[in-house]
Structure formats: C-alpha cells, structure tokens
Structure 1
C-alpha cells in the first residue's frame, strides 16, 4: 500500500521482442514521467534521458498514448517506453503477400470444395 501523498505507478520497457521489464514504484504526488524514469538503472533508458528524449530510438507513453517527459503522473499510471519499429508493418505485409501469392493469403484463401470464387 502506498504512503499518504504517494501515487503507485508501473514502469514497463521491452528491450527486445518478447521480453518485458516491469517495475512498480511509489512516487510523490505531482511527479513527472522524467522523475519516474530516473528510478530505472537500465543503461539505454538513462542514455535516452540524458539526451532529454531528443534521441529518436525511444518514445514514452502512458497506457499506450504518447506523452512528453514533463507529463504529470496520476495514480495507477503505467509508464511505457517504446522502441522504434524495425520494419513498417504495411511493407512487411506487402512483402509477405508478394512471396506467398494471393491463393494462400487473405480472407478467401480457404474455400470449400465447389464454392463460388469470393464466397
């Protein structure tokens, strides 16, 4: 349970695919995202904070919505750090479709025997 005047928050960061580092913290009321992230001892996070968030490799948000480092936290906020995408999802899908072809991808890939095309 948090002390009076403290708000519970969660810090979450995924340094690599399929791995998440999560940490709970009790911060004083009125704390900012920058102050919450300063608690973390992860080298990549500290380097990003030292660059004042100007480094484009990471973005921060609360519950999936992008926020600035000076955003004031509320109780039960989940501060998340996002890595940049390696591949644009639209481009990846187009490349997969081009290599697989239309017959093995999409909504009508598995038709019943004797069914009309498109149904």
Structure 2
C-alpha cells in the first residue's frame, strides 16, 4: 500500500479449556465450568497486521494471561485442524487453534464404551 498504512487482516483464535480449568462466575460458583466438563471455550476475533505470525497473534490476544495453563512449548497449535508452527504467517480469515493434550486415549475409551454397551 502506498499510503504508509499497514494492511490489516481479520483472524480468529480458539482454545477449549480442559476440565481442570473451571470457570468462576461473578457469584463465585464454578457450576458452569463443571456442567460443561471444563471451562468455556475462549474465542477471539482480531485484526492484525499482514505478516503477523501465529505466535505474535497469540501474544497480542491476551489469552496467555487469561488461560495460564497454556504452554506454547508443549502444546501444539494449528490453523483449521492442521498443525502449524508458531512462526507460520497468518492469512486472512485463519482460525488459530491451541490444542491441549488428550485426557483419555480414544481407543481405550471406545473399548470401554463397547464393553459397557454389550453388557447392558
């Protein structure tokens, strides 16, 4: 752009809090977090400069302060379900996702359900 104004792009960021991250309401009760099996998801829509990386956008979003359990060294990130690195440059309308570790092995959970259902 010739006018010296940096181009801005719109991106979104999502993180689903785990069961250990209960949500505390204004009344001091965390029943909302318990009922949902964990905290409510964190969703952000942001305008960032073109050329911004995933890591920069995460820092700018403030999510690391809101969800201190996020560890970008150990938790992978991605865009629309595909793993990416923190230095990946964002494109317009990208959805950044921060992935948390699984709390149960999907194969074991499926076996337990099948065993339970066959016994019923």
Quick check: which has more Rg, 1 or 2?
Answer: 1
Identify, as 1 or 2, the structure richer in strand.
1
Instruction: Supply the distance in 2 between the matched residues of 1:76 and 1:97 (Cα, whole angstroms).
Output: 40
Note if 1:68 corresponds to 2:89: no
> Where does the alignment leave 5 or more consecutive residues of structure 1 unmatched?
105-119
TM-score by length of 1: 0.69
Alignment counterpart, residue 15 of structure 1, candidates 14, 17, 30: 17
Large movers: runs of 4+ above 3 Å: 42-47
Q: Secondary structure at 2:90's aligned position in 1?
A: coil
TM-score by length of 2: 0.68
> Any residues of structure 2 matched to 1:25-64 within 5 Å, and which?
25-42=46-63, 43=65, 44=67, 48=71, 53-55=72-74, 58-64=75-81
**1:85, 1:47 → 2: CA distance?**
14
CA RMSD of aligned residues (A): 2.3
Gaps of 5+ in 2: 20-35
1:6 corresponds to: 8
For 1:91 and 1:98, the matched residues in 2 are separated by 11
Greater RCO (CA < 8 Å, at least 6 residues apart): 2
